[in-house]
């Protein structure tokens, strides 16, 4: 490869390196900000779950409409994916987990969150009943309110007998895992498994009405937590992917620079050889 071509390639790789480094820095900043928000969101969602579980345990009639299927025969599977790429394994892991879950489920119906899920499932055989896009890097609570209201409406109308959410749980900057959680119908858990097990709650006018009132708030908080978990995970994975891309670009620039130097040396050597050859020819002619 000619020196000129190598230098053009070095320039192109350098431009890519600048872009990936900028994306790495942005993702790192977003992860830092979102970790604090996620911690607060988890505390809020856990507090509401504590209240909901105490209310469920206090029900006189266990056949509350939010605790059992309303006649639906399909299972809703909601996946929280991304609208953007360049995030490593994030979108692929979530799409594959959703496809595997749907394949093993009788009569699944998909609810897609994020454009990457929409594109993937355009080529799959599963029925899609709802789509959500524009999951911003700083999620808004109104998104969770809309989604929770839609899922609850599907469930209460008998559209779904169960609703599951597949998302990426954020563990730390270097570890995230795909999770699948059933959010409807509500499930009764052992109080020993949640915080605040020793607390006593007084519900007015009744436990049944209190549960019906607070359950939508609980679902919104839970879905918002899952959105935050996925967004924190997405940016953490993107940060690592962009760091690796930047390092690879830097290594490639070093290799190309060495190739350029070697090619330049070869050109100089050839030029010197030509000069020597020409000089020798002139000397012989002069003799």
In terms of DSSP bridges, do strands 162-172 and 127-132 run parallel, antiparallel, or are they unpaired? unpaired
231 and 246 assigned to the same domain: no
Tally the domains of the chain. Answer: 2
224 and 246 assigned to the same domain: no
176 and 212 assigned to the same domain: yes
161 and 60 assigned to the same domain: yes
What range defines the domain where residue 37 resides?
A: 27-238
Cα atoms in the Cβ-side hemisphere of radius 13 Å centred on 151: 36
98 and 163 assigned to the same domain: yes
233 and 281 assigned to the same domain: no
Going residue by residue through the chain, which has 287 residues, state the pLDDT in tens, using 9 for 90 and above.
Answer: 777 888 888 999 999 999 999 999 999 999 999 999 999 999 999 999 999 998 988 887 778 888 888 787 899 999 999 998 888 899 999 999 999 999 999 999 999 999 999 999 998 999 999 999 887 667 889 999 999 999 999 998 888 999 999 999 999 999 999 999 999 999 988 776 555 556 666 777 888 889 989 999 999 999 999 999 999 999 999 999 999 999 999 999 999 888 888 888 877 888 787 787 777 777 777 66
97 and 15 assigned to the same domain: no
229 and 250 assigned to the same domain: no
272 and 224 assigned to the same domain: no
CATH number at residue 117: 3.40.1380.10
48 and 160 assigned to the same domain: yes
pTM comes to 0.85
254 and 225 assigned to the same domain: no
**How many other β-carbons are positioned within 10 Å of the β-carbon of residue 47?**
14
Ramachandran angles phi, psi of 124, nearest 5°: -105, 170
C-beta separation of 232 from 35 below 8 A? yes
134 and 231 assigned to the same domain: yes
């Amino acid at each position: 490869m000619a020196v000129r071509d190598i230098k053009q390639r070095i320039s192109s790789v350098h431009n890519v390196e600048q872009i990936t480094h900028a994306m790495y820095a942005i993702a790192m900043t977003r992860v830092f900000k979102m970790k604090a928000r996620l911690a607060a969101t988890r505390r809020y969602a856990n507090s509401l779950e504590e209240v909901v579980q105490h209310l469920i345990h206090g029900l006189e009639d266990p056949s509350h409409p939010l605790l059992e299927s309303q006649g639906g025969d399909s299972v809703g599977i909601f996946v929280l994916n991304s609208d953007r790429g360049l995030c490593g394994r994030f979108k692929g892991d979530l799409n594959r987990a959703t496809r595997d879950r749907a394949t093993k489920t009788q009569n699944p119906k998909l609810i897609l969150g994020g454009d990457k899920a929409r594109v993937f499932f355009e080529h799959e055989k599963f029925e899609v009943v709802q789509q959500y896009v524009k999951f911003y890097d700083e999620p808004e609570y109104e998104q969770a309110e809309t989604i929770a209201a839609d899922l609850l409406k599907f469930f209460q109308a008998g559209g779904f007998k169960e609703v599951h959410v597949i998302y990426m749980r954020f563990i730390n900057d270097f570890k995230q895992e795909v999770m699948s959680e059933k959010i409807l119908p509500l499930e009764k858990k052992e109080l020993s498994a949640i915080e605040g097990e020793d607390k006593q709650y007084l519900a007015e006018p009744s436990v049944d009405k209190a549960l019906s009132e607070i359950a939508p708030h609980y679902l919104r908080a839970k879905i918002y937590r899952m959105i935050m978990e996925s967004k924190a995970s997405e940016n953490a994975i993107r940060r690592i992917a962009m760091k690796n891309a930047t390092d690879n670009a830097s290594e490639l620039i070093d290799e190309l620079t060495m190739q350029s130097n070697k090619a330049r040396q070869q050109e100089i050597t050839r030029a010197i050889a030509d000069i020597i050859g020409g000089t020798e020819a002139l000397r012989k002619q002069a003799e």
